[in-house]
Structure 1
Amino acid sequence: MKEFKTIAAQIGILESRGMIVGEGASTVLLRENYYSIINGYKDPFLDKGAMRANANDLYLEGTRFEWLYSLFQFDRELRQITFSYLLQAEAALKTATVYAFCESHKACSDYLDRSSFCSAREMLTPKAFKGNIISLHSKNLNALMGILNRKLVINAQSRPFVAHYMAAYGEVPLWVLCNDLTFGNMSHFYQLMKRSDQNSTCKHLFKTTLRAKDAKRITPHEVLRAYDVLTHFRNLCAHDERLYCAKVGNDGYASVVKLMEIALPGDVVTNMKSDVEALLQKYEGKLHVITARNLKKQLGI
């Protein structure tokens, strides 16, 4: 295990590895955390050639601490922008899913009935899935039923609106309960829906994204992929993890931008791209080793 290092020792390490560290760095490191800035954002600034003969990190000649910190700040603002649009996409996907389910399952508690969901043979899976679908179906359906039923057991952690409905009516409609379900919960819910209900979800999304009547239809597989990828990146943003070069499988930020189109109107996605463009312009010249053009290409904007 590595020993605790004081701020002075941390700066000494950076300088010994070729970084130019200014006076304000000590305050930044104390406020933001060495690991978050250095370990998270050092890669573009490392001298990979020189490191072949050295066990330690070595920085490109002239690399300054404020360059790494600027990339750290850029990524933080990118998360803030992206998170605001991901929340809109989450609401749109959840609402379309719940509306489609409740259209064909009228009883308030139908979402607690296993027969309201698909069989293992009908369960939607990613196209690359090669596992045991019967086992996956059983596992996911059991997990979903457990989550849904636990939400209806009132305790100190219960959300006020759930407690109110249980006290007043003895049950909670899905369109109310969904506000206490995570994006991931709803992703599994959608995956286990009957195909007819998934098709209805797609139709609602087609309408709410304001697509032209002759536009390409949204498919159940596209919605499942949007749920999967956007859930991962939503959680990444919420937990303040590195975003600009993050990968979930083969999906990076460019996939997020593309999949937003499944949930949000085109003009909203355009606004998101414009917000990121403005952010790139703000930091152009501050990152030095990384150009705004390269970042733009990497982000898929």
Structure 2
Amino acid sequence: METPHPFCSIEEQVSRLTSRGMTVSDRRAAENFLITHNYYRVVNGYKFLFLDKDRSKPGNEVFREGSDFDQLVAVFMFDRELRSRCLFALEVAESRMKTATVHAFCDRHRGTLDYLSFSSYCSKDQYRAPRRYDANLSDLLTMLKSASLGNCHHKAYVGHYLEHYDDVPLWVLSGCLSFGNMAHFYDLCDVPTRNEACKLVGRVVGRRIESKRMSFTYKVLRDYRNICAHGDRLFCARTGRRDSYRFKDFIDRIETVLTATEFEDLVLAPVSETIATLDMFPYVKEKVVGEMGIEGLVVIGE
């Protein structure tokens, strides 16, 4: 096991950067930035763009010639703005997908508490992962049961329904469910419910959506929403079991559930504008766009 790095003062952190070949033109500004944003998140999070792979060795990293702290700051701020802009688009997509799924389920299963019944969901052979069907359905129903009894943090409307109507319908309870919860819920819905949810979203966005694509969209957007909400690195994020999905896959999936105008205004234009903040650093911009996998998007090259 490797020995943990010793604690370094802010001044020592800046000196570490300069000793490895990074130019710091304003030490006081750099120190203040690291006090505010944390060395680990800034440097360890984004240094890979600036390392000289030929000269760096384990325990002795060297930055490529021309690396500047201002570039590092620019990438950090770019990624923060990218998260903020993408989160807004994700909230629109999430609301539409969740609402359509819940509406489709409640239209097919009219009993107030039908969402707590095993019979309201798909059979094992209709589920994408039959071996995990029993456990996943049981976990879902346990979670829904707990939420329906009022174990839903800081959601006064659930308490209101319990107090005045005894039972809480799914269209009320859905406000307690995370995007991840709804992704599992969708996958466990019976086939007619899934298809109807696709039709509802498709009616809004003006395109036909297959159930399998909706399921995949739920999973990719769930992961990217968590990244944005928790302040993790976005532009270079890899998700999925084999880390096979990156930003270009997020772009592709969110387009599925947005109208053409929404996609342009909430995704393409904001992403293009955010990338443009790196224009004064062409090398960095090229590396960032490459990590995102969106070199082919016309809006990026304009």
TM-score by length of 2: 0.90
- 2:282 counterpart of 1:278: no
Alpha-carbon distance in structure 1 between the residues aligned to 2:219 and 2:152? 31
Unaligned 5+ runs, structure 2 = 298-302
Q: 2:108 aligns with which of 101, 104, 112?
A: 104
Q: 1:201-240 maps to which residues of 2 (within 5 A)?
A: 201-211=197-207, 217-240=208-231
- 2:42 counterpart of 1:37: yes
- 2:196 counterpart of 1:197: no
TM-fit CA distance, 1:11: 1.0
How big is the alpha-carbon RMSD for the aligned residues of Structure 1 and Structure 2? Answer: 1.7
SS in 1 for 2:284: coil
TM-fit CA distance, 1:157: 3.2
**CA deviation string 1:69-112 (max 9, x = no partner):** 10000000000000000011110110110011011101111001
Q: Percent same amino acid at aligned positions?
A: 34
Q: 1:1-301 maps to which residues of 2 (within 5 A)?
A: 1-21=4-24, 22-23=26-27, 24-52=29-57, 55-125=59-129, 133-134=130-131, 136-154=132-150, 157-211=153-207, 217-248=208-239, 249-271=243-265, 272-285=267-280, 287-291=281-285, 295=289, 298-300=292-294, 301=297
Residue range with higher mean Cα deviation, 146-155 or 262-271: 146-155
| Contact preservation (8 Å) 1:46, 1:58 | yes
CA gap 1:282/1:231 in 2 versus in 1, 3 angstroms: same
TM-fit CA distance, 1:202: 1.1
CA gap 1:60/1:288 in 2 versus in 1, 3 angstroms: farther
- Which residue of the partner structure matches residue 300 of structure 2? none
Alpha-carbon distance in structure 2 between the residues aligned to 1:32 and 1:297? 23
Alignment length (residue pairs): 286
TM-fit CA distance, 1:116: 0.2
Alpha-carbon distance in structure 1 between the residues aligned to 2:230 and 2:112? 34
SS in 2 for 1:264: coil
TM-score by length of 1: 0.91
Alpha-carbon distance in structure 1 between the residues aligned to 2:236 and 2:291? 11
TM-fit CA distance, 1:158: 4.6
**CA deviation string 1:106-165 (max 9, x = no partner):** 11110011100011111135xxxxxxx23x001111110111011122368351000000
CA gap 1:2/1:9 in 2 versus in 1, 3 angstroms: same
TM-fit CA distance, 1:55: 3.5
Counterpart of 1:219 in structure 2: which amino acid? E
Counterpart of 2:102 in structure 1: which amino acid? V
| Contact preservation (8 Å) 2:127, 2:188 | yes
Alpha-carbon distance in structure 2 between the residues aligned to 1:32 and 1:158? 30
CA gap 1:176/1:270 in 2 versus in 1, 3 angstroms: same
CA gap 1:296/1:47 in 2 versus in 1, 3 angstroms: closer
| Contact preservation (8 Å) 1:67, 1:288 | no
Alpha-carbon distance in structure 2 between the residues aligned to 1:157 and 1:197? 28
| Contact preservation (8 Å) 1:281, 1:292 | no
SS in 1 for 2:60: coil
TM-fit CA distance, 1:256: 0.9
Counterpart of 1:38 in structure 2: which amino acid? V
CA gap 1:198/1:258 in 2 versus in 1, 3 angstroms: same
Alpha-carbon distance in structure 2 between the residues aligned to 1:158 and 1:33? 31
